[in-house]
Amino acid sequence: MTEHSRRHEHHEPFHYSEDDVQREVTELEGKSATAARIFDLRRIIGGLFVLYGVIVTIVGITDSQAAIAKAQGVNINLWTGIGMLLLGVFFLAWLKLRPTPPPLPPEGLPEEPVEPGKNE
């Protein structure tokens, strides 16, 4: 059976009510806003810098004197780890203090007010 003949087996088209369409649009907008917040680059960058900062700071704390002597007496792992931690905390604080605004409705689409008591 071909795709063309399968389409014509169902003679009545499926109709969506205005309420169904509006509900679906609202649901998709909510999912889009959630995805935008989850995948905000500040969250990803901040999280990675905090994670790597913790690792490098622990390495810096446990460095031997020989490793510190290689870096001309500076505990470079400790200072780099602390810097990474501070940068990661900065990104996460920025995310918390200035969250991603919800998406604006598309331009060019007029918003039609729903008349009370009118259902189509």
User: pLDDT tens, 57-67?
Assistant: 999 999 999 99
Specify the higher pLDDT residue, 110 or 96.
96
The model's pLDDT over 23-39, given as tens digits with 9 standing for 90+, comes to 777 777 666 666 666 67
Query: What confidence score (pLDDT) does residue 26 get?
Result: 73
Please, which residues have CB within 8 angstroms of residue 58's CB and are 6 or more apart in sequence?
A: 81
The reported pLDDT for the residue numbered 75 is: 95
Whole-angstrom distance between the N-terminal and C-terminal Cα of the chain?
A: 37
* Residue 21 CA: distances (Å) to CA of 16, 25, 27, 31: 7, 6, 10, 15
Q: What is the pLDDT of residue 120?
A: 47
pLDDT of residue 112: 54
Residue type at 39? Answer: F
Contact 61, 12 (CB under 8 A): no
Chain segment 65-105, per-residue pLDDT in tens: 999 999 999 999 999 999 999 999 999 999 889 876 665 66
Q: What pLDDT shows up at residue 41?
A: 87
What global pTM score does this model have? 0.57
Contact 48, 91 (CB under 8 A): no
